[in-house]
Chains A and B, each alone.
Chain A
Amino acid sequence: MESDGEEEAAATPGAGGAPAAGRLKGCPELMVDDDMREMAKTAAWSVSSCKPGNGVASLRDDNLDTYWQSDGAQPHLVNIQFQKKVQLQLVVVYVDFKLDESYTPSKISVRAGDGFHNLKEIKTVELSKPVGWVHISLSGADPRETFIHTFMLQISVLSNHLNGRDTHIRQIKIYGPRPNHVPHQPFHFTSREFVTYSTVR
């Protein structure tokens, strides 16, 4: 029973890769491959608007009980500016239709670029009464395009359920591949001892 649940949950990210396949529902657990890490700890986050007390910090506090609430015209934007060019692979957002109802996003667009001036749309997904973590993969159709290189990411909430005006998002996490410690080497070591001695210091 538990094993079946895990398999079903694991299938969800794959379904996210094809928007036409259907709407995302989310899953209760945050499931990320071991070869990825969260990238946005040191990035600069900003939002297009916020209600007092429900600011951008609520997106990053690892507390599912707090949320960001927008307070302006649609679309509602979350901007993440990185200190350097980064490789990104996965965006995971936590939303809860049961608690937020018409504040729950129904359509989310992810854009990337160097800055506000040249953002390009990477992916658009639709959500259907999601509860839990929604995984949005940033990979393209080409197998070699497993991630994107970018200085800036923008998550745009285009519409909400039940035509709600403002939106609630409880958490956002952004994942990218772990860097290869030894450039040009086709594989990399995982144990601490091997990594320590993998290069001449």
Chain B
Amino acid sequence: CSARPVAIQTPNNPSVSDQDLQQQQLWNFAQRTTALPFGRGAFTLATTYTLLTEALVFPKLVLAGRLPAQQNATVNLDLSTRSVSEFKSWAEFHNGVAAGLRLAPFQEKMLRTWIQYNRPSEPNFTHAGLLLAFGLHEHLRVLTMTDAYRYLSQEHDITRLGLLLGLAASNRGTMHPAISKMLYFHVPSRHPSSTPELELPTLLQSAAVMGIGLLYEGSAHALTMKILLGEIGRRSGGDNVLEREGYAVAAGSALGLVALGRGSNAFGFMDTFLDRLFEYIGSKEVYHEKHLNAAIAADEQSGNTGQMMEGAQINVDVTAPGAIIALALIFLKAESEEIAARLSVPNSHFDLQYVRPDFVMLRIVARNLILWNRIQPTKDWVESQVPSFVNFGVSNTSQEAMDSDELDSEALFQAYVNIVTGACIALGLKYAGSRNSDAQELLYAYAVHFLNEIKHISIQTASILPKGLLQHVDRGTLELCLHLIVLSLSLVMAGSGHLQTFRLLRYLRGRSSAEGQVNYGLQMAVSLAIGFLFLGGGTHTFSTSNSAVAALLITLYPRLPTGPNDNRCHLQAFRHLYVIATEPRWIQTVDVDTGLPVYCPLEVTVAETEYYDETNYCEVTPCLLPERSVLKNIRVCGPRYWSQVITLTPEDKPWWKSGDRTDPFNGGVLYIKRKVGSCSYSDDPIGCQSLLSRAMHEVCDTPSTSCSNQANSATRSSLRVDQLVSTFSANPSLIAFAKLCCQSWKDRRNGSFEEFCSQILYECMSKDRPALLQVYISFYTIIETMWEHLKIGHFPFSDSLFLSSLKVASAYNEALIDGRITTGGIIQSTFLESLMKRIEYIFAELPNLHDSFINYLNKGKWPDAQNEAVLLSWYLQWYSIPPPHIVSSAIEKVKPRTRTSLSMLPLLRLLLPTTHLVGLMEIEKLHMTHGHEGLTLH
């Protein structure tokens, strides 16, 4: 977007005034174009890889315009009429940062030679930005001190700035002595008194001081803390007096980083230290004036250039922001009531005169970072941040008008909007990367209300802010508050690409030409917010660890620049430190068979916290996971993929880096196995289980409903079955069987067998048991062959072993029904039961079989006909009837014990335990009918 000229709308008759209008539009667009690299860096974070033999490519920054009405003629922005020197310099720096951030971390260390390879012959802003980006990616560890000094010797201030910050970011928390020495070289107050005075720009000093903070992060190094404390309030010695404010902010941030989250443990000399910090903030209480006067005397001796005259008091305008940030970071999440009370918001009209409105905002942010656990994403919580006298004041403006000479209503409204905005920033930092819906809705509501106030839109619904803000607060303040809230909102929704938020951001980005002057700072905020919303192309999000909160606070420092080259209040390079807070918490599921990414539902379990119970919720991959400190369980769920469970122990550690072997997510890839009979969600989003069933039944019904002579219908149905099987299953047996069935169905000889085959195909596919296909076919074939034997007299079997197989299956089924087998059935019970019924039906319907059985038992004689002999053998085998002599013996034993009226069945059961009940009944019946013959024989 920054590499192409922007379209300019002009009337059809150009004139001199139109050219001025064009230049004004180009100037406005240039503010936006120069801010684009901020967002691009976040958007494309770690999304590309490069070969070590390739040079890095930088998108162009084109400030020219395009005239669609005049055949896309190009108009260049005329900078000579503006008193702006090197307008594009810092934009090129940010462009270099964006290009460097784009490179994904290497699996192995990036080679030094590649960095040297990309080093330009002449130092420039772009390469300086590249060095900072590499530092934020921790690549600069491979640079040797010789490499560093070679860069320093180029005497290009911005290159040194990028190098110092980059080296410090790459070695965060290590206190590397050589880098420390290099950084302190750029802090003039640390030079020995004999050193000749070096001219060091304030920008470079700010970068060096922030670098010291990064290098000593979390160390609570006592000497460093004292040095940085002094730097916050150091009197001017440099050549750029008016950038002292940014320097003090850098020193305060650095001090906060050194003692990050340490709270009271940070110092053994806490009282003196804290009193000094509160003096910088502007506390009404005054301590240790002697010490202060001594410090002032020392500063004045160091050479007053005559540009400043501050008297004996601290210039709170310069020192307060840095001191407030230092306290916020030192006591981050410490829940220290004492410190929060001393950082109080003014609670009376008199006190309000002593605190600037923007300092009120900083105090709100700071005290809520200290009381971290009390931040709640509710409107009540935000309102609780507002002192009652401010609430009363903004709610009763008409009454206040009477006393306008005495009470400053503007101060009340200024305080109100700054307090609300500070609370929103605290919410953004607390819920960064969480996509918490309560926080999102609340921040969105506040942003929309501020926007409506700026646009003078009256709201019919109940509003969450008092109306008519613009009458009491200047528009610049409202714009700043709106954009800070929008940035906070994008922190919460980082990496999600949330559509509602994106719509708001696109509106803010494009409304400039219609609604007035474009402000570079506001465009920078919008650009960063869009970049955060799509962080890393949706693969990254923000952490809320101490380091992350510190980095985000420095990035969001609520004082935006007025132009591309404005570094007065906050060095623009510091806006890129958000990279420290990013984590690649993205996960995608890959089908282990196809190797392709697929959608899949995941059940995520978040551990219990002080304010929330343990929570389960569903996500669909690819998605972002919660922080490691609360992530407890991840389970692949849903009916289509085999379940997988990854159990973790929540702990306060950063997310796994790329290539970390302990990473349970393999750098964001989870392999899953699809169940047979299921489609991937991209192929069939609605649900394929019922689709398979419906499709198969539809195919099965076709032959019976259509006329037998309709060949087209048969062809369609057979193709459908073939395709269905191929679609839902990869098993070659099933696919081959389906094709064979389709061919045979064209002949249409065996309708019932056709139907049976369709059903067992469905069964084998849905249960993912292709081996059962043969079992089902085998059972079916046995029964069919028995029938065929009876009708035709064909003798396929020479024995009765097949009946034994059937009896084993029957026993298995009974065990299933009785509950003796509890692991679930393999073959359907109804199928097995129907098999047994068919066999018994066969035996019951044969008249000759009965006579053969009688002869066999009475005379021990086999039938003469082979057909009848085979049938009898089946019968005896099926019902396990013993030889005739055993049967006679049993009857003889039973006979004396029973009377004529009672049944012999229970006793026979005892004597012939292996005989089937049906067989026993037949034996009893035979005895009752032919009893006299038995007696005669005996």
Task: Give a binary string over B567-611; 1 marks a CB under 8 Å from any A CB, 0 the rest.
Answer: 011000000000000000000000000000000000000000000
**Segment at the interface with B among A17-25, A115-123, A161-169:** A115-123
The interface residues of chain A lying within 8 Å CB-to-CB of B309 are: 44-46, 55-57, 60
B317-A42 in contact (CB<8A): no
Indicate if B311 sits at the interface (CB-CB under 8 A): yes
B406-A184 in contact (CB<8A): yes
Measured CB to CB, the nearest residue on chain A to B568 is: A116
* Alpha-carbon gap, A47 to B308, bound state (A): 7
**Segment at the interface with A among B48-56, B119-127, B214-222, B354-362:** B354-362
The interface residues of chain A lying within 8 Å CB-to-CB of B476 are: 118
The interface residues of chain B lying within 8 Å CB-to-CB of A81 are: 315, 317
> With A120-B474, A151-B317 given, is the CB distance from A56 to B245 under 8 Å?
no
B308-A53 in contact (CB<8A): no
* Alpha-carbon gap, A54 to B474, bound state (A): 37
Q: Which residues of B306-335 have CB atoms within 8 Å of chain A's CB atoms?
A: 306-311, 313, 315-317
The interface residues of chain A lying within 8 Å CB-to-CB of B315 are: 44, 81
Contact of A50 among B307, B316, B404, B411 (CB under 8 A): B307
Could you tell me which A residues sit within 8 Å of B by CB distance?
42, 44-50, 52-57, 60, 79, 81, 83-85, 114-118, 120, 144, 149, 151-152, 180, 183-184
The interface residues of chain A lying within 8 Å CB-to-CB of B411 are: 85, 149
B306-A55 in contact (CB<8A): yes
* Alpha-carbon gap, A45 to B241, bound state (A): 11
A83-B313 in contact (CB<8A): yes
Could you tell me which B residues sit within 8 Å of A by CB distance?
241-242, 245, 304-311, 313, 315-317, 352-354, 356-358, 403-406, 408, 410-411, 474, 476-477, 559, 562, 568-569
Measured CB to CB, the nearest residue on chain B to A115 is: B317
* Alpha-carbon gap, A60 to B310, bound state (A): 12
* Alpha-carbon gap, A46 to B405, bound state (A): 30
Contact of A47 among B307, B352, B357, B403 (CB under 8 A): B307
Measured CB to CB, the nearest residue on chain A to B408 is: A149
* Alpha-carbon gap, A114 to B403, bound state (A): 22
A85-B306 in contact (CB<8A): no
Main secondary structure, interface of A, reads: mixed
The interface residues of chain A lying within 8 Å CB-to-CB of B357 are: 114
* Alpha-carbon gap, A48 to B569, bound state (A): 16
The interface residues of chain A lying within 8 Å CB-to-CB of B405 are: 144
A114-B311 in contact (CB<8A): no
Contact of A54 among B306, B356, B403, B559 (CB under 8 A): B306
The interface residues of chain B lying within 8 Å CB-to-CB of A152 are: 317
**Least Cβ–Cβ distance between A175 and chain B, in angstroms:** 17
Measured CB to CB, the nearest residue on chain B to A52 is: B306
* Alpha-carbon gap, A184 to B349, bound state (A): 13
A180-B406 in contact (CB<8A): yes
* Alpha-carbon gap, A42 to B316, bound state (A): 12
Contact of A116 among B310, B313, B354, B569 (CB under 8 A): B569
Most chain B CB within 10 A, of A44, A49, A180, is at A44
Most chain A CB within 10 A, of B242, B310, B317, B408, is at B317
Measured CB to CB, the nearest residue on chain B to A149 is: B408
The interface residues of chain B lying within 8 Å CB-to-CB of A50 are: 305-307
A-B contact pairs, 12 of them (CB 8 A): A44-B310, A46-B242, A46-B308, A46-B309, A47-B307, A50-B305, A55-B309, A56-B309, A118-B474, A118-B476, A151-B317, A151-B356
Contact of B477 among A54, A116, A118 (CB under 8 A): A118
B307-A117 in contact (CB<8A): no
The interface residues of chain A lying within 8 Å CB-to-CB of B358 are: 114-115, 117
* Alpha-carbon gap, A84 to B355, bound state (A): 7
A46-B406 in contact (CB<8A): no
**Least Cβ–Cβ distance between A120 and chain B, in angstroms:** 7
**Least Cβ–Cβ distance between A66 and chain B, in angstroms:** 12
